[in-house]
Amino acid sequence: MLALGRRARAAARQVSLASAERRDAALLAMAGALRVRASAILAANALDLADARAAGQTAAFVDRLLLDDHRLAGVADAVAGIAALPDPLGRVLASWTQPNGLRFERVTTPLGVIAVIFESRPNVTADAGALCLKSGNAAILRAGSDSFRTSTEIALALREGLTAAGLPADAIQLVPTRDRAAVGEILKGLDGSVDVVVPRGGKSLVARVQSDARVPVFAHLDGNCHVYVHAAADLAMARDIVLNAKLRRTGVCGAAETLLIDEGCAATHLEPLVTALIDAGCAVRGDARTQAAVARAEAATETDWATEYLDRIIAVKVVADLDEAVAHIERYGSHHTDAIVTADEAAAARFLAEVDSAIVLHNASTQFADGGEFGFGAEIGIATGRMHARGPVGVEQLCSFKYRVHGNGQIRP
Amino acid sequence: MLALGRRARAAARQVSLASAERRDAALLAMAGALRVRASAILAANALDLADARAAGQTAAFVDRLLLDDHRLAGVADAVAGIAALPDPLGRVLASWTQPNGLRFERVTTPLGVIAVIFESRPNVTADAGALCLKSGNAAILRAGSDSFRTSTEIALALREGLTAAGLPADAIQLVPTRDRAAVGEILKGLDGSVDVVVPRGGKSLVARVQSDARVPVFAHLDGNCHVYVHAAADLAMARDIVLNAKLRRTGVCGAAETLLIDEGCAATHLEPLVTALIDAGCAVRGDARTQAAVARAEAATETDWATEYLDRIIAVKVVADLDEAVAHIERYGSHHTDAIVTADEAAAARFLAEVDSAIVLHNASTQFADGGEFGFGAEIGIATGRMHARGPVGVEQLCSFKYRVHGNGQIRP
């Protein structure tokens, strides 16, 4: 593993100096190789699937693992799509001139070596490898053992694309073992060869990475997202946003898990919103006010406020005012994504300022918590930490920066 | 210590929501309290100085520890100067609108709780506390045991200023013990209460923090800075820059430690540059070419290329070309600050692109590696990592960001 880290570091230096044209050519060659090698990839996937079924994995697990012609074409298209994104490197983030004539520029550079640890979705192999290359970084990819054969074949295609474009194949390395000890070594940083770790998978994976990593981590553990229906909320808009935020897809991290309704509109909004949720097939766990308003609501317990259901269940609470809403979100939330519905601009401004979450929305669904919806083109995940990357992590967030200083002989007095 | 961390976290929330006017009022009140409490601070300093002298500390150490009326006025003025900087919070770093009408803004927010661990310079107590408050963060300050009494008195003044402005005194806490175990607890993050650690002091402190910290660190271990005199360098400009980069102050991290001279100008530039250094009182440790050119030059060993002398010593080597210069800097440098002297714009552009250092300069002295010279107003240190902050760490680098999303009822299809 240490040798793998050293190869990644050396390759990172080479791709950091490669032109955008060469990196994009490699991405297109990778997409082509994924298409050409489709039968080998699908054959490997069939073996992974057979093992997963034999091991009694759930249907949802098997579905995440499954590739077919259509899905694989989508994987290749996504890689080609990353080639089409603007170059994130060499962008001048700021420039200014000091009185002594020195001209300063802050320009984007690669981060270095990015380790991505993921579970059973084999498409992450291609997505993560492509995003790292686009941003001039080397990638160390650790696939879940259930998708090991599929990921191995995908990685071969990626490396073929790198080589075709004259870049080092080691810019994308798949950890060549199912041995779980490899994860521990990656989390220790491979002797300085790993700059950041990105976990992609379930809560237990993320928790382990966050607790054991000795290098920075881009991740979120929970997405306990809130919709706060303020006293000045339009009922129809609130209904649309609440139903979408909870039910469009319940398994995504931006799905709403708690609905807070302001005392000031509870008389008119509480019953119709809760009824709409229940009628749409969502279980409601409410406080006493909610249960009094709608008999079909169950009772919420303290645990519910802190639970990310990722299911057709929502917790509902009436709050006295904006202050209580913000306090509730700060106490129980996960600093991921929270929304306010209101026609009151001042209330919205306060909510957006005071809720300390990566993404705060006014009059929009929490399900917009997604790099694609932000216009980032693609994302490697969503981070809730406050260091470096926060919110959707796209190619820009996989960059660092340096200062270029232009003089004409200046010396410091 | 865990209780101290919890108090810092709670105070961080309060100062993160305080207006710029209130934070600046607190800074001015802190500056005023430092002036009013001058006699108590100087009395405490006298006790620290007496202990340091009794313990046989060096004159340089005692000088770093020493406060007098003039220096203390400078400390207060620096705090007032931080109040006068623009507010780093709430700045819109980027804004854009998606086709569905959602308007996105990336705006600066505080990082949270910043722990600063420093050695015998008591002024760091005030500087670090003020920079953290300006950027809406809470500070946990761990003073060197030799400056403990002085730092305690300074911290009292800072907390008095916070209280006077209606902010929680716990936004700036000095660790109230000389017990070294406290540092270990801070490096573990105080149960999630520390967001970043900034070490200020000698190499052993920084090395310990970098090796033991379980939270992000803004720091640099070495400042092994290079000046590369390219074949197309003007000799007079090269002489000015080399002498300034090496000798203006030898003890700062931006001081040059190695001079690389291109083969293409060695015949004309090597002897005069080395002679000028030696005549200015600098020892030169050179490769064979250097020794052949100037008899007074000593012989360099492999160790010299990797040494940060922080003294009147410089290593000198003739390199074949730009490629060898870049390769030498990548091999032996510390990714801190490196400069090229050349009239060739293309060579300069390549050097600035290919040298992977926080600060790269063209035709300017490496001694400009300083937040003040960048126009940042003040800095808490210089970082050589690639995560979040790189180069001088000023109030902007002590900020994180969040996304504000403005809609009018958008739901995700």
What is the SS3 string spanning chain A? CHHHHHHHHHHHHHHHHCCHHHHHHHHHHHHHHHHHCHHHHHHHHHHHHHHHHHCCCCHHHHHHHCCCHHHHHHHHHHHHHHHCCCCCCCCEEEEEECCCCCEEEEEEEECCEEEEEECCCCHHHHHHHHHHHHCCCEEEEECCHHHHHHHHHHHHHHHHHHHHCCCCHHHEEECCCCCCHHHHHHHCCCCCCCCEEEEECCHHHHHHHHHHCCCCECCCCCCCEEEEECCCCCHHHHHHHHHHHHHCCCCCCCCEEEEEEEHHHHHHHHHHHHHHHHHCCCEEEECHHHHHHCCCCEECCHHHHCCCCCCCEEEEEEECCHHHHHHHHHHHCCCCEEEEECCCHHHHHHHHHHCCCCEEEEEECHHHCCHHHHCCCCCCEEECCCCCCCEEECCHHHEEEEEEEEEEEECCC
Q: So what's the pLDDT on residue B6?
A: 97
pLDDT classification of B1: cutoffs 50, 70, 90: very high
Which residue's entry shows tokens 């306990």? Answer: A224
Instruction: Round the CA-based radius of gyration of chain A to a whole number and report it.
Output: 24
Spatial distance between the Cα atoms of A249 and B413, rounded to a whole number of angstroms: 10
For residue B403, the chain A residues in CB contact (below 8 A) are 358-360, 374, 390-391
Counting residues of chain B whose pLDDT is more than 70, the rounded percentage is 100
Contact A375 B330 (CB under 8 A): no
Whole-number average pLDDT of chain B: 96
For residue B354, the chain A residues in CB contact (below 8 A) are 17
Contact B407 A13 (CB under 8 A): no
Spatial distance between the Cα atoms of B387 and B210, rounded to a whole number of angstroms: 14
Q: Inform me whether the C-beta atom of residue A19 falls under 8 Å from chain B C-beta atoms.
A: no
Could you tell me how far CA B328 lies from the centroid of its own chain? 24
Spatial distance between the Cα atoms of B65 and B70, rounded to a whole number of angstroms: 14
| Architecture of the domain spanning B225-371 | 3-Layer(aba) Sandwich (3.40)
Could you tell me how far CA A269 lies from the centroid of its own chain? 33
Spatial distance between the Cα atoms of B335 and A309, rounded to a whole number of angstroms: 46
The string of pLDDT tens digits covering residues B227-265 is 999 999 999 999 999 999 999 999 999 999 999 999 999
pTM score, whole prediction: 0.94
Token reading at B367: 């001694």
Spatial distance between the Cα atoms of B250 and B283, rounded to a whole number of angstroms: 12
Token reading at A88: 């994130």
Complex ipTM value: 0.94
Token reading at B342: 């050349």
Contact B359, B369 (CB under 8 A): yes
Q: Inform me whether the C-beta atom of residue A400 falls under 8 Å from chain B C-beta atoms.
A: yes
Count of CA atoms in the C-beta half-sphere (13 A) of B361: 34
Spatial distance between the Cα atoms of B362 and A37, rounded to a whole number of angstroms: 48
**Which of A362, A399, A411 has the most B C-beta neighbours within 10 Å, making it the best mutation to test the interface with B?**
A411
Nearest CA in chain B to A235: B409
Residues with Cβ < 8 Å from A325, sequence gap 6 or more?
A: A226, A228, A230, A260, A262, A319, A340, A351
Contact B134, B162 (CB under 8 A): no
Spatial distance between the Cα atoms of A211 and B192, rounded to a whole number of angstroms: 11
Q: For domain A2-218+387-405, give the CATH number.
A: 3.40.605.10
Spatial distance between the Cα atoms of A336 and A284, rounded to a whole number of angstroms: 22
Spatial distance between the Cα atoms of B173 and B114, rounded to a whole number of angstroms: 11
Closest by CA position to A377, among listed A81, A129, A87, A77: A81
Contact A400 B386 (CB under 8 A): yes
Contact A366, A260 (CB under 8 A): no
Instruction: Please report, as a single letter, which amino acid is at residue A278.
Output: I
Closest by CA position to A9, among listed A141, A155, A194: A194
Supply φ then ψ for residue B362, to 5 degrees: -115, 120
Count of CA atoms in the C-beta half-sphere (13 A) of A49: 15
Which residue's entry shows tokens 């800097």? Answer: B329
Nearest CA in chain A to B383: A402
- Maximum CA pair distance of chain A? 79
Contact B319, B328 (CB under 8 A): yes
Q: Inform me whether the C-beta atom of residue B244 falls under 8 Å from chain A C-beta atoms.
A: yes
Contact A359 B403 (CB under 8 A): yes
| Architecture of the domain spanning B2-219+387-405 | 3-Layer(aba) Sandwich (3.40)
Spatial distance between the Cα atoms of A4 and A193, rounded to a whole number of angstroms: 9
Could you tell me how far CA B25 lies from the centroid of its own chain? 26
For residue B196, the chain A residues in CB contact (below 8 A) are 387
Closest by CA position to A341, among listed A198, A238, A255, A225: A238
Q: How far are the Cα atoms of B46, B53, B146, B174, B401 from residue B149, in angstroms, in the given order?
A: 9, 15, 8, 11, 37
Q: So what's the pLDDT on residue B201?
A: 87
- The domain segmentation of chain B, as residue ranges, is 2-219+387-405, 225-371
Contact A98 B405 (CB under 8 A): no
Give first-to-last CA distance, chain B, whole Å. Answer: 49
Torsion of CA B183, B184, B188, B194, to 10 degrees: -10
| Closest Cα in chain B, distance from residue A46 (Å) | 33
Residues B17, B20, B23, B26, CA torsion sign: negative
Contact B387 A400 (CB under 8 A): yes
Q: So what's the pLDDT on residue A375?
A: 93
Tens digits of pLDDT across chain A (413 residues): 999 999 999 999 999 999 999 999 999 999 999 999 999 999 999 999 999 999 999 998 999 999 999 999 999 999 999 999 999 999 999 999 999 999 999 999 999 999 999 987 889 999 999 999 999 999 999 999 999 999 999 999 999 999 999 999 999 999 999 888 999 999 999 999 999 999 998 899 999 999 999 899 999 999 999 999 999 999 999 999 999 999 999 999 999 999 999 999 999 999 999 999 999 999 999 999 999 999 999 999 999 999 999 999 999 999 999 999 999 999 999 999 999 999 999 999 999 999 999 999 999 999 999 999 999 988 999 999 999 999 999 999 999 999 999 999 999 99
Spatial distance between the Cα atoms of A309 and A270, rounded to a whole number of angstroms: 21
Closest by CA position to A304, among listed A313, A295, A292, A293: A313
| Closest Cα in chain B, distance from residue A339 (Å) | 9
CB count within 10 Å of CB B369 equals 30
Strands (E), B191-245: 196-200, 225-229
Contact A98 B367 (CB under 8 A): no
Q: For domain A225-373, give the CATH number.
A: 3.40.309.10
* Bridge partners, residue A97, by sequence: A103
Exposure pattern of A173-188 as b/e (b: 16+ CB <10 Å)? Answer: bbbeeeeeebbebbbe
Query: B315 by DSSP, 3-state: which?
Result: strand
Closest by CA position to A112, among listed A50, A169, A196: A196
Contact A402 B359 (CB under 8 A): yes
Residues with Cβ < 8 Å from B78, sequence gap 6 or more?
A: B123, B126, B127, B130, B378
The secondary structure of residue B146, as a DSSP letter, is G
pLDDT classification of B39: cutoffs 50, 70, 90: very high
